[in-house]
């Protein structure tokens, strides 16, 4: 960890705990700041706050006092999920106090260079691929960020022998000031999180923070297939590496039907890539570009690409059973994600879908239902999804009680050569605590077939 002294003896407020708040408070304390933590969960029910108090950190729990900022804080570190409309955050901004997320702290103390990955879709897959391909390189990779490991906690122990591969959300990036990754990757940009950002323009602005401080010594890898991303990239001062899945190009990394190219020269055949679908090809191109920049051995990259079956719950290959291939895409909690999954396959699909009924239409899926031969529907939206499937000309539809029942019924109605795909297009909360639990049940019952 870099000996960072600028926060020593400064009064810092950490707003919201969870994993990121705890790690931020611990790091700030180690850096010599006078730390106060404020969390809505009552102290008696808050073991994280209790642990911080034992370290000598001031803890205010169970409420958010209106006069909290009168304590003279010089910096606010907020949980990424707390909106900027929060009264304390709004008050801090009106007082012109800097408001950051723990990702900024990670950058300030890290001895290791950072590869930052953002975008609307594909972040986790791209992050995981980069991490796996760099494992046998000169620098040992560490994985961090929105993927589940708090970035500032990783950065506090990283050395110059490491590289930190970091998945970054718009919420995290919005709270950065000096953050400057050595390599930035932007996978794509679609309408998302507008309830938080207000407009698509504000969402894009938050994403741009990944490259706003980069210079000619840094790299920006970006999706050349989206005009909004190209416009975004042109504002960056970094060296630009476009990726394209639409055919061979002379710039950056690209792919046609058979081959992947670097600067227009073939580097390996597409049949080395195990992950299905155009969206995953784009993730692979972005990840490979980052690893080429870091001097990763080509044979090691191919080894990973040929065996990588997907991130858990994201079009994850589970197993082949009796000539059918089963895929877990439980992370698909909206129609756009399910559309991407459906478009990834050319084989006949038995689709398992349904879940929490938020009243949304399934019309966005219509053009992608052409390869769907049968639907097994469950959850609150089960009946509505079956009606939609029949309107698409799909007559083979089955009601199931839940995901477990759906696996059994899908096995019965599927045939050799089919893909059996769990891609619900709905949240899980009507029957399950989260999409991970739903996906794990799917895997468990597929393995029991």
Give me 126's structure tokens: 């791209």
pTM of the model: 0.86
Q: Is 393 annotated as a binding residue?
A: no
Q: Is 124 annotated as a binding residue?
A: yes
* Euclidean distance between CA atoms 429 and 379, whole angstroms: 9
Class at the top of the CATH hierarchy for domain 103-307: alpha beta
For 417, counting Cβ atoms within 10 Å of its Cβ (0-12 exposed, 13-18 middle, 19+ buried), the class is exposed
- CATH 3.30.450.260 given to domain 316-448: no
For 267, counting Cβ atoms within 10 Å of its Cβ (0-12 exposed, 13-18 middle, 19+ buried), the class is middle
Give me 246's structure tokens: 């639409």
Q: Is 180 annotated as a binding residue?
A: no
Residue 257 CB coordination number (10 Å): 6
Q: Is 121 annotated as a binding residue?
A: yes
User: Which 3 state secondary structure label does DSSP give 10?
Assistant: coil
User: What proportion of the chain, given as a percentage, has pLDDT over 90?
Assistant: 92
CATH number for domain 11-100, candidates 3.40.50.720, 3.40.250.10, 3.40.190.10, 3.40.50.300: 3.40.50.720
pLDDT at 176 > cutoff 80: yes
* Residue extents of the structural domains in the chain: 11-100, 103-307, 316-448
Which helix (H) or strand (E) element contains residue 232?
helix 227-234
pLDDT tens-digit profile of 374-402?
999 999 999 999 999 999 999 999 999 99
What integer is the mean pLDDT of 419-440? 97
Instruction: Give the CA dihedral 37, 41, 46, 48, nearest 10 degrees.
Output: -40
Strands in 132-235 per DSSP E:
140-145, 162-167, 183-186, 219-223
7 contacts 27 by C-beta, under 8 angstroms: no
17 contacts 48 by C-beta, under 8 angstroms: yes
Q: Which of 153, 195, 149 is nearest to 170 (CA)?
A: 195
Q: Which of 322, 315, 328, 335 is nearest to 418 (CA)?
A: 322
What are the distances in angstroms from CA 309 to CA 149, 210, 276, 306?
A: 22, 28, 9, 8
Q: Is 315 annotated as a binding residue?
A: no
Q: Is 58 annotated as a binding residue?
A: no
pLDDT of residue 147: 81
pLDDT at 186 > cutoff 80: yes
Q: Is 125 annotated as a binding residue?
A: yes
* Euclidean distance between CA atoms 142 and 149, whole angstroms: 10
380 contacts 430 by C-beta, under 8 angstroms: yes
């Amino acid at each position: 960890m870099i000996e960072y002294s600028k926060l020593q003896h400064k009064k810092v407020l950490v707003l919201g705990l969870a994993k990121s708040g705890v790690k931020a408070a611990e790091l700030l304390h180690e850096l010599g700041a006078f730390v106060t933590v404020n969390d809505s969960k009552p102290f008696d029910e808050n073991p994280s706050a209790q642990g911080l108090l034992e370290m000598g950190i001031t803890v205010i729990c169970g409420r958010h006092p209106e006069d909290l900022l009168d304590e003279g804080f010089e910096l606010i570190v907020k949980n990424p999920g707390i909106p900027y409309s929060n009264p304390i955050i709004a008050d801090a901004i009106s007082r012109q106090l800097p408001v950051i997320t723990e990702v900024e702290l990670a950058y300030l103390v890290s001895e290791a260079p950072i590869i930052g990955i953002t975008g609307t879709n594909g972040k986790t897959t791209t992050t995981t691929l980069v991490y796996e391909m760099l494992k046998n390189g000169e620098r040992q990779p560490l994985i961090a960020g929105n993927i589940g490991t708090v970035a500032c906690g990783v950065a506090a122990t990283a050395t110059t022998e490491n590289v930190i591969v970091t998945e970054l959300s718009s919420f995290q990036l919005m709270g950065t000031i000096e953050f400057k990754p050595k390599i930035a990757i932007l996978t794509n940009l679609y309408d998302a999180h507008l309830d938080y950002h207000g407009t698509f323009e504000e969402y894009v602005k938050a994403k741009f923070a990944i490259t706003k401080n980069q210079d000619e010594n840094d790299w920006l890898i970006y999706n050349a297939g989206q005009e909004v991303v190209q416009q975004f990239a042109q504002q960056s001062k970094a060296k630009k590496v476009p990726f394209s899945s639409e055919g061979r190009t002379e710039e950056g990394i690209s792919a046609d039907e058979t081959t992947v190219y670097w600067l227009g020269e073939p580097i390996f055949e597409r049949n080395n890539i195990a992950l299905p679908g155009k969206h995953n090809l784009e993730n692979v191109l972005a990840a490979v570009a980052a690893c080429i920049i870091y001097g990763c051995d080509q044979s090691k990259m191919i080894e990973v690409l040929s065996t990588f079956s997907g991130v858990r719950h994201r079009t994850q290959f589970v197993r082949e059973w009796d000539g059918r291939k089963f895929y877990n895409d439980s992370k698909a909690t909206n129609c756009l994600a399910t559309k991407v999954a459906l478009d990834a396959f050319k084989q006949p699909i038995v689709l398992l879908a349904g879940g929490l009924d938020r009243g949304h239409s399934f019309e966005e899926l219509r053009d992608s239902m052409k390869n769907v031969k049968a639907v097994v529907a469950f959850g609150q939206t089960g009946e509505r999804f079956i009606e939609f499937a029949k309107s698409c000309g799909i007559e083979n539809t089955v009601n199931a009680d839940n995901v477990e029942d759906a696996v059994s019924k899908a096995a019965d109605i599927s045939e050799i050569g089919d893909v059996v795909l769990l891609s619900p297009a709905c949240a899980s909360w009507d029957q399950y605590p989260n999409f991970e639990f739903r996906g794990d049940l799917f895997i468990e019952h597929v393995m029991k077939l």
